[in-house]
């Protein structure tokens, strides 16, 4: 983002179409109905601006309205210092320059990931923003902007990250080759934005424990003080338009014009000659910083030293969440098929809106099947349970890998049970014209159910509702393990594969509802 936002032009027909997206209710399953999460009002406004021809400056609000963080009830894990700066400890990488493109989201996100890795392993990586931008799968990400969901799509399918030296940003827009990933990022946590300007402790803890976090702000040069390198916007009626990385805080810093002391330390993406060597300070009192979401990354030890293939149906990843009205749970199932012997080592699941509580998740694996099972009747080959408390994606490794035969079809079922109302936990792809137009789905790939017995193919909802595939992936290793190589990104076409790894074959199945 470089400049202010243009005045909003109204296109009535487009507005009506966009608003109808948030009112979509799918056909009923008896007494329950399949519903998608309401659209974020800031996202709707963003779509209208893009349709009117206004330039995006880099930050695209989340399509899902995930609500606000609740300051009441937050329990601090540790007593934090009044000032903390990741730069002091060497936990940040060098500042970069996005140029005139709307790509701040890529720089903020990968800067956060690089910081996390430095914080925990001491390893310095310079990852390629260009590869992320070109391979995320979304419409015109160089100019229309992005958010953490585009980053999740890229990382969860194993396309990256890759090193900047392999795909430098200076090459600009175009296509990027599928290189072997440097590592696999196990999880991304997406926390709700601040409840108010005093709701800061949970963000501080995320920075303190995990490294830099990425988030949005509203930027206009009117509110920037070039002398003190500080920023404060007190004016209502704006929305975030620029993504940044928060690398620390100073409770005692007085930002000119702000009523209270305290500011975030910010890593920007406008080069090291801007601000304080590429950094600046935003007042806690600013109305828009960290108002949409706050995200951070977790890089654990890779399964099998990273030597696995990611099988998936959802190259664009989660872009909305589903629930069944009138039901306390929802089931999702993906059908996969292997071409060679191997092992199912774990799964990666995307969780949508959790509704302020948590979601209990049970994963079940069914071998030698090409249709969803009757949960509770058909015995699974493997079961795993966990609990998650925020939107994001999670890698769930298996204690005992599940053996797979050549040509075997298998089904992975996720049962999701939110703790309270307001959750839309089942993450799926979602086709929105001009944003995620590349979403496609085939029959027999992804299914949903209110009870684990009566299933419906998500393919049946694609043409009318834009629903894509269930965002659940399989991590599969070869039967005879080659030496660890860092792995390669996975996709259903097998692009960039390593010989001997399992391939995802297209499925064309028909399935009738089962009582």
| Tokens 């690089």, located at residue | 114
> Structurally, how many domains does the chain consist of?
2
What pLDDT is attached to residue 62? 96
On whether both 370 and 466 belong to a single domain, the answer is: yes
Domain-terminating residue out of 298, 333, 362: 298
Is 96 a domain residue?
yes
Residues 263 and 283: beta-carbon distance below 8 Å: yes
To 5 degrees, how large is the angle CA 390–CA 395–CA 398? 130
The token pair at 315 is 């190259």
pLDDT band at 504 (very low <50, low <70, confident <90, very high): very low
Do 126 and 245 belong together in one domain? yes
What is the per-residue pLDDT across 454-470, written as a single tens digit (0 to 9) for each? 999 999 999 899 999 99
Domain membership flag for residue 163: yes
Residues 263 and 172 in one domain: yes
Considering the domain architecture, whether residues 353 and 276 belong to the same structural domain is answered as: no
For residue 187, being part of any structural domain is answered with: yes
Residue 398 falls inside a structural domain: yes
The rounded distance, in Å, linking the Cα atoms of 342 and 361 is: 25
Cβ neighbours of residue 234 closer than 8 Å, sequence gap 6 or more: 257, 258, 285, 286, 287
Q: Within a domain: residue 430?
A: yes
**What b/e readout covers 155-171, taking b as 16+ CB neighbours within 10 angstroms?**
bbbbbbbbbbebbebee
Rg of the chain in Å (alpha carbons): 22
CATH number of the structural domain spanning residue 311: 2.60.120.820
Count of residues in the chain: 515
**d(C-alpha 42, C-alpha 48), whole Å:** 10
Q: Which CATH number belongs to the domain containing residue 261 in this structure?
A: 3.90.70.10
Query: Where a domain ends, among 230, 264, 298?
Result: 298
Model pLDDT, residue 71: 65
Inside any domain, residue 287: yes
pLDDT exceeds cutoff 70 at 506: no
Q: Is 399 exposed, middle or buried (0-12, 13-18, 19+ CB in 10 A)?
A: exposed
Instruction: Give backbone dihedrals phi and psi of 112, rounded to 5 degrees, phi first.
Output: -65, -45
Flag whether pLDDT at 489 surpasses 70: no
Helix or strand run (H / E) with residue 188: strand 187-192
- Are residue 209 and residue 250 in the same domain, yes or no? yes
Same domain, 281 and 319: no
Mark whether 427 and 310 lie in a shared domain.
yes
> What is the percent of the chain with per-residue pLDDT over 70, rounded to a whole number?
86
Regarding predicted confidence, which is higher, 162 or 19?
A: 162
Please tell me the predicted confidence (pLDDT) of residue 376: 95
Asked, for residue 52, whether it belongs to a domain, the answer is no
- Is the CB of residue 213 less than 8 Å from the CB of residue 112? yes
Instruction: Name the nearest CA neighbour of 136 among 60, 52, 40.
Output: 60
Do 330 and 247 lie in one domain? The reply is no
- Report how far residue 157's alpha carbon sits from residue 139's, in angstroms, rounded to the nearest whole number: 18
Place of tokens 């990273």: 306
Same domain, 375 and 227: no
Half-sphere exposure of 460 (CA within 13 A, CB side): 15
Closest by Cα among 326, 327, 146, 176 to 241:
146
Q: Which residues contact residue 449 at a Cβ distance below 8 angstroms, ignoring those fewer than 6 apart?
A: 29, 330, 331, 332, 333, 372, 455, 456
Within 10 angstroms of residue 16's Cβ, the number of other Cβ atoms is: 9
For residue 161, whether the previous peptide bond is cis, meaning omega lies within 30 degrees of 0, is yes
Q: Which residue has the higher pLDDT, 280 or 497?
A: 280
Question: Could you read off the pLDDT of 39-55 as tens digits, one per residue?
Answer: 999 999 888 887 787 76
The yes-or-no verdict on residue 492 having pLDDT over 70 is no
Verify that 277 and 318 share a domain, yes or no: no
> Which residues are registered as beta bridge partners of 351?
392, 426
| 340 CB neighbour count, 10 Å cutoff | 18
Sorted by sequence, the CB contacts under 8 Å of residue 367 that are 6+ apart come out as 381, 402, 404, 408, 410
Torsion angle, CA of 363/455/510/366, rounded to 10 degrees? 20
Residue 417 lies in a domain: yes
- Least confident stretch, 21-25, 233-237, 337-341, 421-425: 21-25
Average pLDDT over residues 441-464: 96
The residues facing 139 across adjacent strands are none
Domain enclosing residue 205, as ranges: 83-298
pLDDT tier for residue 484 given thresholds of 50, 70 and 90: very low
Helices (H), 144-221: 148-156, 201-210
Q: What is the model's pTM?
A: 0.88
Instruction: Please give the Cα distance from 335 to 289 (Å, whole number).
Output: 41
Tokens of 472: 């659940």
Separation of alpha carbons 335 and 439, rounded Å: 18
Reported as a single tens digit per residue, the pLDDT across 333-343 is 999 999 889 99
Name which of 370, 368, 349 is nearest 472 in CA terms.
349
On the question of pLDDT at 32 being above 90, the answer is no
Q: What is the mean pLDDT of residues 88-110?
A: 98
**Do 348 and 401 share a domain, yes or no?**
yes
Average pLDDT rounded to a whole number, residues 50-72: 82
Q: Provide the 8-state DSSP code for 59.
A: B
Where residue 27 falls among pLDDT bands split at 50, 70, 90?
Answer: low
pLDDT score for 26:
56
pLDDT single digits (tens) 268-327: 999 999 999 999 999 999 999 999 999 999 999 888 778 899 999 999 999 999 999 988
128 band by pLDDT with thresholds 50, 70 and 90: very high
Strongest mean pLDDT among 26-30, 144-148, 305-309, 475-479: 144-148
254 & 318 share domain: no
pLDDT, tens digit, for every residue of 164-204?
999 999 999 999 999 999 999 999 999 999 999 999 999 99
Q: Look at residue 20 and tell me whether its pLDDT is greater than 60.
A: no
Mean pLDDT computed over every residue of the chain: 88
Question: Which residues are within 8 A (CB) of 140 and not within 5 positions of it... i.e. 6 or more apart?
Answer: none
What's the pLDDT at 25? 52
């Amino acid at each position: 983002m470089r400049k202010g936002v243009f005045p909003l032009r109204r296109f009535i027909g487009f507005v009506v179409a966009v608003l109808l997206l948030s009112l979509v209710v799918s056909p009923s399953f008896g007494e329950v109905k399949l519903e998608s999460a309401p659209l974020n009002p800031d996202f709707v406004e963003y779509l209208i601006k893009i349709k009117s021809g206004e330039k995006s400056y880099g930050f695209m609000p989340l399509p899902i309205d995930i609500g606000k963080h609740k300051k009441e009830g937050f329990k601090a894990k540790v007593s934090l210092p009044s000032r903390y700066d990741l730069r002091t400890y060497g936990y940040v990488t060098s500042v970069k320059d996005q140029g005139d493109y709307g790509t701040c989201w890529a720089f903020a996100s990968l800067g956060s990931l690089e910081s996390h890795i430095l914080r925990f392993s001491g390893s310095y990586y310079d990852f390629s923003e260009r590869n992320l931008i070109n391979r995320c799968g979304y419409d015109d990400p160089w100019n229309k902007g992005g958010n953490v969901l585009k980053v999740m799509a890229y990382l969860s399918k194993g396309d990256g990250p890759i090193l900047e030296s392999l795909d430098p940003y200076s090459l600009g827009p175009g296509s990027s080759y599928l290189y072997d990933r440097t590592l696999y990022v196990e999880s991304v946590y997406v926390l709700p934005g601040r409840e108010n300007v005093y709701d800061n402790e949970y963000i501080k803890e995320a920075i303190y424990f995990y490294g830099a976090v990425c988030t949005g702000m509203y930027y206009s040069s009117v509110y920037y003080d070039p002398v003190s390198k500080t920023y404060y916007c007190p004016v209502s009626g704006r929305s975030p338009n620029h993504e940044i990385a928060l690398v620390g805080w100073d409770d005692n810093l007085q930002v000119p014009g702000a009523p209270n002391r305290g500011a975030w330390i910010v890593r920007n993406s406008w080069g090291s000659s801007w601000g304080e060597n590429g950094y600046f300070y935003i007042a806690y009192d600013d109305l828009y910083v960290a108002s949409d979401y706050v995200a951070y990354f977790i890089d654990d030890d890779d399964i099998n030293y990273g030597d696995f293939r990611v099988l998936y149906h959802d190259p664009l990843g989660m872009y909305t969440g589903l629930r069944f009205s009138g039901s306390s749970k929802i089931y999702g199932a993906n059908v996969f098929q292997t071409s060679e012997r191997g092992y199912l080592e774990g799964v990666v699941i995307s969780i949508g809106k959790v509704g302020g509580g948590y979601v209990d998740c049970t994963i079940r694996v069914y071998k030698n099947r090409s249709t969803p099972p009757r949960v509770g009747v058909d015995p699974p080959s493997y079961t795993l349970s966990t609990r998650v408390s925020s939107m994001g994606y999670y890698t769930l490794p298996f204690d005992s890998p599940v053996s797979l035969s050549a040509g075997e079809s298998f089904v992975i079922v996720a049962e999701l049970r939110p703790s309270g109302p307001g959750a839309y936990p089942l993450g799926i792809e979602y086709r929105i014209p001009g944003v995620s137009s590349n979403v496609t789905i085939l029959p027999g790939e992804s299914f949903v159910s209110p009870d684990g017995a009566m299933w419906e193919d998500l393919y049946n909802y694609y043409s009318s509702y834009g629903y894509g595939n269930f965002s659940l992936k399989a991590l599969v290793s070869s039967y005879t393990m080659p030496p660890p190589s860092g792995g390669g990104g996975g996709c259903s076409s097998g692009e960039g594969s390593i010989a001997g790894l399992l391939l995802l074959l297209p499925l064309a199945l028909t399935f009738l509802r089962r009582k």
